[in-house]
Structure 1
Amino acid sequence: MPVLIVIPARYASSRYPGKPLVSLTGATGEVQTLIERSWRAAMDVSGVDRVVVATDDDRIRTVAEAFGADVVMTSEACQNGTERCAEAHAALGGGYDVVVNLQGDAPLTPSWFIEGLVAGLNAAPDAEIATPVLRCDGATLSGFLEDRKAGRVGGTTAVFAASGHALYFSKEVIPFTNETYADDADTPVFHHVGVYAYRPDALAAYPGWAVGPLETLEGLEQLRFLENGRQVLCVEVEARGRQFWELNNPADVPKIEAMMAEMGVA
């Protein structure tokens, strides 16, 4: 069962232009760009046949090729990472049973998140896309709430049925809770981890669907699947003591660097 990981990366981010080329300093003082750290995270995943960086920008291509990445050039017309993954998969001639979208702003994604995601999709024949969710502890939930109070878009949260099929994703904190939790306590809120595993037919269909009102309001690409009646499987993963955060805003750089220092990530 061939598996492809695509790392979509664009320079012209509306919230953080040039984000893939931002430098991050690890625990040993080694400096690497965000895109390199994301690529190295992908290369650590077992059971993967190929890893490619998909971009429309020559600056990203030059940097990625310099550290050894396989690069696929895509068009500037791609509206999000899923569309870029679809274009990259087509450019490679298809042939993969599962295409994983590891977004280039998530360098702390543990390998077992993606391995579990692929296994979950394979075990659910009715699902056309799978994505991981991580139960928030009290400290993470507090961080989400602080971001919203400050007017920042932080992490995305997910709610799903007992079957694991997604009901909704939001940049707001859902479900509502007014409880307070200890830093290490489990909460009823699930952090959506921005990784996706697609079946190729669903991925190929995605760019042809119109952008719906929910995707427009939330700015979340996975809502296009829900708005078109497609089954999205939420696969619960475990942190195993690993801290996780996505780089969404400039303020996230020192936060991620502090996490790398604490976890000993070089």
Structure 2
Amino acid sequence: MTRVSIVIPARHASSRFPGKPLQPLRGAGGKAKPLIRRSWEAAMQVRGATEVVVATDDARIAEAARGFGARVAMTPADCRNGTERCAAALGQLAAPDIVVNLQGDAPLTPPWFVEALIAAMLRSGAEAATPVLRCDAAAHRSFLEDRMAGRVGGTTAVFDRAMNALYFSKQVIPWTGRSFAPDERIPVFHHVGCYAYTPDALRRYAAWPEGELERCEGLEQLRFLENGARMLCVEVESRGRVFWELNNPADVERVERALAQAGIE
């Protein structure tokens, strides 16, 4: 049986949103839960996961996570991103075949996104993979509105015909120069904040220096591409679920609205 460890990396320090993992978010019934709990509850819905672990260096996050029943792996404070934190937590996991990094700011991640990612890893033999979601007109418009307002929001991805990642950016790529009607097929893909890796790929990643593109964009996955490593993009379907990460304080209302729409308490 394939052993799958889902790791939720979480840090308190953030230039855009300090204390983000502890930000309360109201669900469909009006009850507020911290972001880290909502991300953990999303991970607990994934079928086939062997364990779900919160990886952090912060005592406040660790205390909150243990308070709602999560397993916690304490990791060094100098981890520069979630992938490094997952690598640092490897020795505290249950000997996984696949490690899933479910980013702590993505509580709207449906379980089928992660299940599709795991299935693609097993089917393809890839060492690293990540989901992508084709934008509808509303999501594409949200991307453009964020950029026009000077907000750094979600990430977009481009890939080749074999679904190998070519680039990820916080800009909206490919550039189209126009908006789209609701019934149009849009060539822009929202990168979902989730990754799957083999343990060996994680160890290699941690040994590589931070890349220039990674540093410029603030996107950890670019380190794989800068070192010539393959990252498989796995297209997933929304099935009517709104997906958005909590990137900025302005996203709180947007995420709460999506939680209510999905009926998530």
Equivalent residue, structure 2, for 1:124: 124
Q: TM-score, normalised by structure 2?
A: 0.98
Q: How much has 1:14 moved relative to structure 2?
A: 1.6
Equivalent residue, structure 2, for 1:36: 37
What whole-Å deviation, never above 9, does each CA across 1:22-71 have from its counterpart, x for those lacking one?
00001101110000000000000000000000000000011000000000
Q: How much has 1:138 moved relative to structure 2?
A: 0.6
**Secondary structure of 1:188's match?**
coil
- How many residue pairs match? The answer is 264
Q: Contact 1:215/1:221 (CA < 8 Å) preserved in 2? A: yes
The reply on whether 1:13 has 2:14 as its aligned counterpart is yes
Q: Contact 1:139/1:184 (CA < 8 Å) preserved in 2? A: no
Equivalent residue, structure 1, for 2:134: 135
What whole-Å deviation, never above 9, does each CA across 1:72-126 have from its counterpart, x for those lacking one?
100101000000000111233x62100000000000000000000011111112x
Alignment of 1:157-236 (within 5 A): 157-183=156-182, 185-236=184-235
What whole-Å deviation, never above 9, does each CA across 1:195-220 have from its counterpart, x for those lacking one?
00001101011111011110011000
Q: Distance in 1 between matches of 2:15 and 2:81?
A: 12
Identify if the C-alpha distance between structure 1 residues 91 and 263 changes in structure 2 by more than 3 Å, giving closer, same or farther: closer
Equivalent residue, structure 2, for 1:79: 80
What whole-Å deviation, never above 9, does each CA across 1:120-179 have from its counterpart, x for those lacking one?
111112x21000000000110010011111111011000000100000000000001023
Name the amino acid aligned to 1:242: R
Name the amino acid aligned to 2:81: N
Q: How much has 1:183 moved relative to structure 2?
A: 3.7
Note the aligned Cα RMSD (angstroms).
1.0
**Secondary structure of 1:243's match?**
coil
Equivalent residue, structure 2, for 1:148: 147
The reply on whether 1:237 has 2:236 as its aligned counterpart is yes
Identify if the C-alpha distance between structure 1 residues 55 and 184 changes in structure 2 by more than 3 Å, giving closer, same or farther: farther
Structure 2 unaligned residues grouped into runs of 5+:
none
Structure 1 unaligned residues grouped into runs of 5+:
none
Identify if the C-alpha distance between structure 1 residues 184 and 37 changes in structure 2 by more than 3 Å, giving closer, same or farther: farther
Q: How much has 1:265 moved relative to structure 2?
A: 1.5
**Secondary structure of 1:236's match?**
strand
Q: Distance in 2 between matches of 1:184 and 1:102?
A: 31
Identify if the C-alpha distance between structure 1 residues 184 and 250 changes in structure 2 by more than 3 Å, giving closer, same or farther: farther
Identity percentage over the alignment?
Answer: 63
Q: Distance in 1 between matches of 2:31 and 2:81?
A: 30
**Secondary structure of 1:186's match?**
coil
Name the amino acid aligned to 1:190: F
Name the amino acid aligned to 1:41: A
Equivalent residue, structure 2, for 1:62: 63
Name the amino acid aligned to 1:35: I
Q: Distance in 2 between matches of 1:66 and 1:265?
A: 20
Runs of 4 or more consecutive aligned structure 1 residues displaced over 4 Å after TM superposition: none
